[in-house]
Structure 1
Amino acid sequence: MQEQFVNEFMAKVTDLISDADLNIVYRQLMIHVSEYEVRKKSTEVVIYEGYLPECYEVFFVTRKIEGMSMKSLELYNMVLKHFFYCLNKKIEKITTNDIRVYLYKVQQERQLSNATLDSRRTIIHSFLEWAANEQYIGSNPCRSIRPIKYERPKRNPLTAIELEMLRNTCQTIRDAAIIEFLYSTGCRVTEMERADITDVDFAKKEVLLFGKGNKHRISYINARAELALKKYLEIREDDSPALFVSERKPHGRIKKAAIEKRVRQLGEMSQIGRRVYPHLIRHTTATDGLFRGMPVEEVQKLLGHVNITTTMIYAEVSEENTKNDHKKYIV
């Protein structure tokens, strides 16, 4: 291969230098390349299949057993596969700088917001922290990368007038039951989708919800929600165990997308002037509870948050409430 390299090179410069110089270059080049291993660069497309660490599947099995939702598992899988594919390095050789460069490049290439980028950083950190704790790697190289700062959009809950406008727009008994159930329980839309009739205890004014993290929790129904649910269940002619069903036969369990669509339609018909969605009603429940004096720990329990800081993100205490309390207590 060395001789072939020299001969091909000499063929390219034959017309550029004299015969005497050509002989000198030839001899010197042969001496020089003798100290090197020369091989032709491969132009074949090689599919790299070893970018995922051996512990990759173990991580997902562990998280699934711990109750991580399928939606979260899919997101983790998408982010981590892209991360390891781009780095193309063994997990134990990944450095902090590798991660920083990856985050910088992926933001530039995909025009990601800081919020989305920090979500990727969190996922990468979570995996590497688990790998370090399980002793697959010595330490987590992502540990020294600080959270990426971004401004959280302020969530404005429905005002009392807007909530009444939404209620007055309900065209069916089921519409009213959906709105009152969402507001009273502060449930997630997936929790509403999964709720069965037997989960509601009218005597105790309680409802058993099953949602995020595959966990059960108790929430409560107020008088409005109780009345709306009883009216709705009285007109039902199906035998479905689901608390809420589709209006068309065979009246199957109502799906998340259908709930979101109907709430959005009711919001548009109410002419509130902004988009209405189930999570906005959940946020309104939390904010109203705090505004009327409900302790934040109880709001946390009502919403099913593990971390109280999450509760404060969804339910910011209004400045007006703080001002009123200041007048009451700071005298």
Structure 2
Amino acid sequence: MDDKGFFREIIDIYIQRFDIKENTKRSYGKMLAQFAEFVDGLPNLPTRQDVMAYREQLKSRLRAASVQKHIVVIRGFYRWYYIEGFGPNAAEGVKGMKIESDFKRESLSLEAAIKLLNRAKRYASKSIIGKRDHALIALLLTTGLRTIEVERADVDDISFVDETKVLYIMGKGHDEKDAYVKLSPEVYGLIEEYLIERQDEYKPLFINHTKPYQGTRLRTRMISMVVKEMLRDIGIDDPKYSAHSLRHTAASLALDLGGDLDAA
């Protein structure tokens, strides 16, 4: 097999190792397959200059936000490619697209928030990843936490304050977990169901569940991917809506899903 054939095989291996839903894998796979077609036209495996040339090619036919998605996926692939020892990181330092300054994250309507929870609830009955994602989205919607705060959360950070379940967090700019958010009984129940099914001693509150990353902390990038995929499932596929939108949603609606969650 030539180098380029092996390159395509490596892309397939990379996609299959993702702890994400199948349609997200297909989306990422499609973007990397397009990049592989570009690579087929090169005399050798791509260099940084080739990746930059590919970005310019994308710019000629795609919106800035779409080009940005492609570059983010390619950079993620090359980080893994380099770490696994397959070769140099040809995408290192390659910048994406500048999004216009008037680009703002949107918050969800109450109807859309409930629809999002409904969809997450459906997945929860199918797998432990579904249970994790249901608890994750409910936590984000009801507390307005940042993804980095969720990433840093450990199982032992759940405690009581005045007979109320809380989650201690390390806020932005802090170096200690000296603040907390209240957990409604319903949201705590979802977290508890997820932890009971895990039956492990891993420290992080939310973890990966596929090899070779089983038991590792769920990072902000994966948290964002989980939310984006669930949003797409309910028909919201717009760069203005993201994991950060759930923070805006919690603030704008002052959303307390204690009652509505049962209905969802």
Q: Normalised by the size of structure 2, how large is the TM-score?
A: 0.50
Q: Normalised by the size of structure 1, how large is the TM-score?
A: 0.40
Higher Cα Rg, which structure: 1
> Per chain length, whose mean CA-contact separation is higher, i.e. which structure has more relative contact order (CA < 8 Å, sep 6+)?
2
